[in-house]
Each structure stands twice: as C-alpha cells, then as structure tokens.
Chains A and B, each alone.
Chain A
Amino acid sequence: MKSYSLEFTLSEVERRKKTMSKKTLFDKVWDAHVVDSIENGPQVLYIDKHLIHEVTSPQAFNELERRNIPIFRPNQIVATADHNTPTKNQHLPIKDENSRKQLEQLSINCKKNNITLYELGHKYNGIVHVMAPELGITQPGMTIVCGDSHTSTHGAFGTIAFGIGTSQVAQVFASQCLLLTKPKSLRVSVNGKLKNGVLPKDVILYIISKLGTNAGTGYFCEYAGDVFENMSMEGRMTVCNMSIEMGARGGMIAPDRTTFEYVKDREFAPKNDAFEQKVTYWKTLPTDEGATFDKEYFFDAEDIEPMVTYGTNPGMGIKVTENIPSLEDDSFEKSLKYMNFEKGESLIDKPINYVFIGSCTNSRIEDFRVAANYIKGKQKADNVTAWLVPGSKQVETQIIEEGLKTIFDDAGFELRQPGCSACLAMNDDKIPQGEYCVSTSNRNFEGRQGQGARTILASPLVAAATAIEGKIVDVTKQLN
C-alpha cells in the first residue's frame, strides 16, 4: 500500500530547503508573523487585523463567553454588517426577524467588547472586503483574517489574507493568533496585452476554467506578470477575490506604486513619515528573483476573452464565443441539467431576465464606471430586472457624485443600497426558481442566488450588455 505520509514528508523537506535562501512574497509575510512552531506540527501565526460580520461571529463570541475568556486585542478587530442586510429602505427596521436578531447580536457583542462596528447606515458600512481596503485598514505585508472565504480579496495588497471558520474566529478573539501549517506556494503568471473588453474578472474566470476548482487546494497563490502589474487595485482585488474558487486559501499580488498610491491618505493608513517608512518596508516584499514555487502556471493574455460560466461551479467557464463542452461525466451532466443547458450549446442569444452587478468581486467604483460607460444613452431590455448593488456606502456616494446614478436611472437600472445582496441571497434579493441571472458575483453553485436559481458568472461589462440586450451577446463585437 502506498504511504502517503512519507511522500508528504519528503516534499516538505525539499520545499523548506529550496525556499531557505530566496523567498517568495508569501514567505516573507508569513515568516514575519510566526510567533512559535510546534515540532512536526503547525505554527502559531500572528494576525494583524481581524474582520468580522454578523453571520460567522455570534457562535465565536458565545464560545469565549462560555469559557470566560476575554477578547485579547479588541482594537485589532473591525466589524461590519453585510451578509443579511436589506438593500432597500435601510433606515427602516429589518423585517426578517432572524436577520434582525443576528444583526442586533453583532451590535451587542461589539459594544460589550469595545469593537469598532460599522453598522447598517454608518457612512463606512459595506461588504467587509470592500470596506476594509477603501478605509486603508488593509495594508501590504499584513496578515488579515475573516470568517468569510473571500477574505482572499485583500491579497491584492501583498497581504496574507484568508477565510477562517468560526472556531478560528474564536481562536483569534482569544489570542490574536491561529495555529496553521504553512501552505505550499503556487504562482500563476499572465503576460501580454489584454484585448479590448477583457476585464480582470475575465482573467480570473479564464484561469479557473483552465485549472479547475481544486488546483489550488493546499496552496497560497501569487499572481505575477505584466497583466497584474498593469491592473488597478480594484482589478487586482477582483482577481484575488476568486482565488478561493480554484481551491487556494488565498492569492497575492506584489505591492508596487499602484498599491502605495491607493493606500496613501486613506482613513486608517499611516500618515506622513510613518507612511514613508512603511513604503520602504513594503518595497522589500516582492518575491526574490530565483525563488522557487511548488507549482507554476503560465498563460498568455491574448488568449483571454470575455468569459461566462455555464455550470454550477466557477471552473465551468467558457469564452462567450465558445460552445459548452461535451463531457461524459455524471457531475458534469447533473450540472447541465440544473442549468437546463445542452452539451455543445452556445450561450450567445440566450434570453436572460435577471442581471446582478454587485458582490465583493465586482462592486467597487471602477466596476460601476465600466457598466455606466457601456450603458450610457442605452435602454435596459424590457424583460430584464437589473440590480446594481454597491459594495459600500462610500461606493454608493461616489456613484451619485460622479453622476453614474443618473445614467443608471435613465437606462432603467435599479441602484440599491450596499450589502452582499443577491450574491448569496440571505436577504430578500433572491433570483426566482428556474430563472437565469448574469451575475458579477463569484459563485454559481446550485441555489446560491435563491432556490432553483441559475447563475451565470461574468464581468460587469458582460452583465451590463446582457441587461441592455436582454440576452447574452459577444460584447467585443460592439466594442471593435
């Protein structure tokens, strides 16, 4: 019989040897946060920032209370209300009793423990992964955790950021640390020039469609190459956000001028000399020349086109101009059955009745600019219900200030208030049974956007075009 443990140990030793001299971005940030190591076991990793929200924190607060353990570093925790919040009439009491209770519980817990909370209606309220970067809470070189798998978003800053379960939320509450085994390293490089109409969302959907949903399991991923170097911070966040969809615990992009300029002057960013000192340190973080990764993939930017998914996991993606593949596989067939698609079919001209632009993947100002730019002067198709849900109060304000709201209103789109919304349909924003929704969110699992709802993941540009045409189109045809 094969001995799995031996195989593991050998590669472990190899790996440690290799990375000793030349370090990756991930190594540098990780190693700087190791408090202690258990022999042949996990390490104690220090956590700089802990973000919490209403859904995955209550049981952790209970656990500490039950065991009579105080919160160790309340000033390193920031809370927001996002998963359950309504996106209409946020000034009124929440109708759903369970949602209301969960949000009230968060307020009580934060107050009791002196934790900063941006509750519903607060000017800084928003989806946890939109709010923290825009406030400058997220900074390069940090370790950040949150009871939410898309915490990987913050990796866009050269941060080790990953989602944790509620037991781990309790661990960080108790000790500001986690017990972890260092993941392996993976690098995905994309070089070349992206075609017109190809957005960061397409880049990451393309990568996942090539690698599958578990290629990254056990790994932390670094995205490298000029495509990412030339990307805005918003774009980098979109990419890192979806790292978890290929199984990776997190994704990272080396901090550079784009990063520093984004962080500078934000509410909680270091100021003046302190900022300059930080920048000097941040500049040392990128992966050393010659450092090796456990796994590497290379892609050519020119091969990427606007993407759509056709199945029930984010790896089931195709270029919008391609046909659905024909595979003989039970899971694949089950997936197509759920979506009511045929093998070999093209999605072009598929009628679509719902469009959702929002979620921590694509609800930043840049995403709404892209959509507005396309929508301007056009009219939404009559069959389509189009929801635009900003990622935060600040994004909402910006949409209004930049005049984008007028464009959306004129075109018949509905701009709602910030929150997770139809990304996971915990509030009232549900896609009805059997309906298709072209969505800028990150998961197309069965029932994710409502029981029986069928999700097609795409970029904000493809989503906007779908809303205008009432069906899926090849948007590059219109651009070129």
Chain B
Amino acid sequence: MEKFKKIQSTAIPLTIENVDTDQIIPARFLKATDRNGFGDNVFRDWRFNKDNSKNEDFVLNNPKYSGSILVAGDNFGCGSSREHATWALSDYGLKVIVSSFFADIFKGNALNNGLLPIQVSPDFLNALLGEITKQPETKLEVDLEKQIISVVGTSFSSTFDIDAYKKTCMIKGYDDIDYLLSKKNEIEQFENTTK
C-alpha cells in the first residue's frame, strides 16, 4: 500500500446521497481478474449517456471541478462489497472521500487501499459542498496525522475520527496481511485449543 501523505487539493462536489457501489462501478465491469483500469468506468452510467456520449450535467464532466478529493452526500458507498468500487475511485485519481456517513464495507475497503474516507458532521458537509460548488478553485487540506480537514487560507475546518491502528497503517503504508502473518503462532494455538 502507498503511504498516505498530507495533501492539498481542489475538490469535486457530488451532491447526491446514498451513492451505492453499483453506481460507482456497475456490475458489468467486474469481469476483470486484475485491479487496474477500473477508473475509466467509475460512475460510468452517470458520466456517459446510453450512446456513450458524455453526460455534460454530471459533475465529473464539469471542467470547473477537479482534484483528488471527492466531497459526497450522506451514506456513501452503500450496497455491495465489491472492492472494485474503491479501486475505480483510486484509479480515477482520488485520494480522499468526504461524506457525513459511509457504509461499513466500503469504509473498510477504502482504508485497506489507501483511500481515506473522512466522516464529517452533516452541517460541515453542507457548508463544504456549498463552498466548493460556488468556488471551484477552493483548496482543501487533509492532515491525517492531526486528523484535520480544512479549507486552505480560512479557519473553516473539522477534525475527523479514524481507528488508531488504521491510521498507522495508512501513514506507514502497511496492510493487514503483514500484521496477521506476524500472528501465525497465536492463530495456530487458537486452532489447537478450539478443535
């Protein structure tokens, strides 16, 4: 996993609630056996019309908005367990997703892939969405070490919560497999006592 460093970036406002994983990456794109290239099809059916022309109304197609931070409506990532959703978002170039609520499996998948889900209060989210929609050049800063997301050059900021263990993993670029492999003895002992 790549190490997560402090970032500054403009952000993309996605003012839709309950964005499910079927929207992030539709099932028909799940037939690959590796993890690359999913970014081309992220939000496929919102980004493109049925005739494959660009849907100019969709925010990802609006040239005003860009950056590695996606600010999205409540309950982001609900639905299926497909990690392809996370791969697609990362492959598209995103490093952080901000929402007022994340579905469990999505959140876990994101953290396991170095994509940081930041949960903020509904009030903060609304204010943030308003700000970046109005001023697309607004820059956000995400400081994982301090657990703070802020609008650069203002006092507008919020702390966020993250599991201490996961935070260390993100910052150091470790993943759970490394940790679990280090527990082999305990695991075998557990098996022997319960069998």
Q: Which residues of A contact B (CB under 8 A)?
A: 1-5, 8, 32, 35-36, 38, 40-42, 44, 46, 55-56, 58-59, 62-63, 67, 69, 83-84, 96, 98-99, 101-102, 105, 147-149, 151, 163-168, 170-171, 174-179, 181, 183, 213-214, 217-218, 247, 249, 313, 330-331, 334, 424-426, 433, 443, 445-448, 451-452
**Residues on the B chain within 8 Å of A426, using CB:** 27-28, 30-31
Of A99, A214, A446, the most chain B CB neighbours within 10 A belong to: A214
**Residues on the B chain within 8 Å of A163, using CB:** 80-81, 105
A58/B121 in contact, CB under 8 A? no
Of A101, A102, A445, the most chain B CB neighbours within 10 A belong to: A445
- Known contacts: A102-B33, A171-B176, A217-B104. The answer to whether A36 contacts B186 by CB under 8 A is yes
- In Å, the complex CA distance between A167 and B180 comes to 13
A249/B105 in contact, CB under 8 A? yes
Of B23, B79, B113, B183, the most chain A CB neighbours within 10 A belong to: B79
Known interface pairs A55-B30, A426-B31, A446-B23; 11 further A-B residue pairs with C-beta atoms within 8 A, sorted by A's residue number: A41-B165, A56-B81, A59-B33, A149-B81, A163-B105, A175-B181, A179-B165, A214-B101, A217-B103, A249-B104, A331-B17
Q: Look across to chain A and name the residue whose beta carbon is closest to the beta carbon of B28.
A: A426
Question: Is B75 interfacial (CB 8 A cutoff)?
Answer: yes
**Residues on the B chain within 8 Å of A8, using CB:** 161
Q: Look across to chain B and name the residue whose beta carbon is closest to the beta carbon of A109.
A: B33
B80: contacting residue among A41, A148, A313, CB under 8 A: A148
Q: Which residues of B contact A (CB under 8 A)?
A: 15-18, 20, 22-23, 26-28, 30-35, 45, 50, 73-75, 78-84, 86, 101-105, 108-109, 112-113, 121, 158-161, 163-165, 175-177, 179-181, 183-184, 186-187, 190-191, 194
Main secondary structure of the interface of A (DSSP, over half): loop
**Residues on the A chain within 8 Å of B17, using CB:** 330-331
A448/B22 in contact, CB under 8 A? yes
Q: Look across to chain B and name the residue whose beta carbon is closest to the beta carbon of A316.
A: B18
**Residues on the A chain within 8 Å of B184, using CB:** 175
Of A167, A168, A446, A448, the most chain B CB neighbours within 10 A belong to: A167
**Residues on the A chain within 8 Å of B160, using CB:** 4
- In Å, the complex CA distance between A247 and B39 comes to 26
CB distance from A56 to the nearest CB of B (A): 7
**Residues on the A chain within 8 Å of B15, using CB:** 330
Q: Look across to chain A and name the residue whose beta carbon is closest to the beta carbon of B22.
A: A445
A445/B20 in contact, CB under 8 A? yes
**Residues on the A chain within 8 Å of B28, using CB:** 425-426
B79/A62 in contact, CB under 8 A? no
A41/B27 in contact, CB under 8 A? no
A164/B81 in contact, CB under 8 A? yes
A149/B105 in contact, CB under 8 A? yes
CB distance from B118 to the nearest CB of A (A): 11
CB distance from B41 to the nearest CB of A (A): 12
- Known contacts: A36-B186, A447-B22. The answer to whether A168 contacts B104 by CB under 8 A is no
Interchain Cβ contacts under 8 Å between A and B, 27 examples: A3-B159, A35-B187, A44-B186, A55-B82, A58-B34, A59-B83, A63-B177, A67-B177, A83-B30, A84-B31, A102-B32, A148-B80, A164-B108, A165-B86, A167-B176, A171-B176, A174-B180, A177-B183, A177-B187, A179-B179, A247-B103, A424-B22, A424-B80, A426-B27, A426-B28, A446-B45, A448-B27
**Residues on the B chain within 8 Å of A446, using CB:** 22-23, 45
- Known contacts: A55-B82, A102-B31, A446-B22. The answer to whether A167 contacts B50 by CB under 8 A is no
Q: Which 4 interchain pairs have the tightest Cβ spacing?
A: A41-B165, A98-B31, A165-B109, A167-B112
B80/A149 in contact, CB under 8 A? yes
B83/A4 in contact, CB under 8 A? no
A44/B33 in contact, CB under 8 A? no
B109: contacting residue among A42, A167, A218, CB under 8 A: A167
- In Å, the complex CA distance between A217 and B108 comes to 12
- In Å, the complex CA distance between A98 and B27 comes to 13
B112: contacting residue among A98, A165, A175, CB under 8 A: A165
- In Å, the complex CA distance between A58 and B108 comes to 19
**Residues on the A chain within 8 Å of B105, using CB:** 149, 163-165, 249
**Residues on the A chain within 8 Å of B179, using CB:** 179
**Residues on the B chain within 8 Å of A313, using CB:** 18, 20, 78
**Residues on the B chain within 8 Å of A98, using CB:** 31-32
**Residues on the A chain within 8 Å of B181, using CB:** 69, 174-175
B81/A445 in contact, CB under 8 A? no
- In Å, the complex CA distance between A102 and B164 comes to 37
Q: Look across to chain A and name the residue whose beta carbon is closest to the beta carbon of B190.
A: A35
**Residues on the A chain within 8 Å of B190, using CB:** 35, 46
- In Å, the complex CA distance between A44 and B164 comes to 15
**Residues on the B chain within 8 Å of A218, using CB:** 104
Q: Look across to chain A and name the residue whose beta carbon is closest to the beta carbon of B168.
A: A41
**Residues on the A chain within 8 Å of B32, using CB:** 58, 98, 102
Q: Look across to chain A and name the residue whose beta carbon is closest to the beta carbon of B162.
A: A5
Q: Look across to chain B and name the residue whose beta carbon is closest to the beta carbon of A248.
A: B104
- In Å, the complex CA distance between A11 and B194 comes to 32
A59: contacting residue among B34, B104, B180, CB under 8 A: B34
Q: Look across to chain B and name the residue whose beta carbon is closest to the beta carbon of A433.
A: B50
- In Å, the complex CA distance between A412 and B6 comes to 62
A175/B75 in contact, CB under 8 A? no
B16: contacting residue among A99, A179, A331, CB under 8 A: A331
